[in-house]
Chains A and B, each alone.
Chain A
Amino acid sequence: MIYPAVYLDAASAEPLHPAARDVLAAGVERGYADPRRLHGPGRDARLLLDNAREVVAASLGVRRDEVLFTTSGTAAVHAGLLGLAPSTNSAVVTTAVEHQSVLDAASWAGLPVRSVEVDATGRADAGSVAAATRAGRTGLVVVQQANHEVGTVQPVDEIAAGLDGVPLLVDACASMGRLPLPAAWTAVAGSARKWGGPGGVGVLVVRRTARWRYPFPAPDPTERTDHGFTHVPGALAAAAALQAVVAERDDVGARQRELIDLVRARVVAIPDVDLVGDPVERLPHLVTFSCLYVDGEALVTELDRRGFGIASGSACAVDTREPSRVLGAMGALTHGNVRLSLTRDATREDVERLLDVLPGVVSDLRAEVAL
Chain B
Amino acid sequence: MTVAATTLDCRGMPCPRPIIELARHLTDVEPGAVLGVASDDPAARHDVPAWCRLRQQEYAGEETAPDGVPVYLVRRLS
Contact = CB atoms under 8 A, between A and B. Distances in A.
Interface of A: 272, 274, 290, 292-295, 314-316, 321-323, 327-328, 331-336, 369, 371
B43 A334 contact: yes
B23 interface: yes
The main secondary structure of chain B at its interface with chain A is: helix
Contact of A371 (B20, B43, B50, B51): B20
A333 B49 CA distance: 8
A188 to B, nearest CB: 31
A332 B42 contact: no
A323 B15 contact: yes
B42 A322 contact: yes
A292 B54 contact: yes
B41 interface: yes
Task: Bin chain B's interface residue count.
Answer: 10 to 19
Given A314-B15, A334-B47, A335-B15, A321 B42 contact: yes
B14 interface: yes
Contact of B15 (A315, A332, A371): A315
A320 to B, nearest CB: 9
B16 interface: yes
B24 to A, nearest CB: 8
Given A292-B54, A371-B23, A331 B42 contact: no
A272 B54 contact: yes
Contacts of A369: 20
Contact of B16 (A293, A322, A327): A293
A332 B51 CA distance: 9
Interface string B43-62: 10111011101100000000
A274 B23 CA distance: 16
The main secondary structure of chain A at its interface with chain B is: loop
Given A334-B50, A371-B23, A323 B16 contact: no
A331 B23 contact: no
A335 B19 contact: yes
A274 B42 contact: no
A274 B46 contact: no
A294 B17 CA distance: 9
Given A331-B49, A333-B51, A334-B46, 17 more contacts: A292-B19, A293-B19, A295-B15, A295-B16, A315-B42, A316-B14, A321-B42, A323-B42, A323-B47, A328-B45, A333-B50, A334-B43, A334-B50, A335-B47, A371-B20, A371-B23, A371-B24
A308 B48 CA distance: 29
A326 to B, nearest CB: 11
Given A321-B42, A322-B42, A323-B42, A331 B50 contact: yes
Contacts of A371: 20, 23-24
A186 B49 CA distance: 38
A274 B54 contact: yes
A10 to B, nearest CB: 26
Contact of A274 (B14, B20, B50): B50
7 contacts: A295-B15, A295-B16, A323-B42, A332-B50, A333-B47, A334-B47, A336-B16
Interface string B1-36: 000000000000011100110011000000000000
A371 B47 CA distance: 17
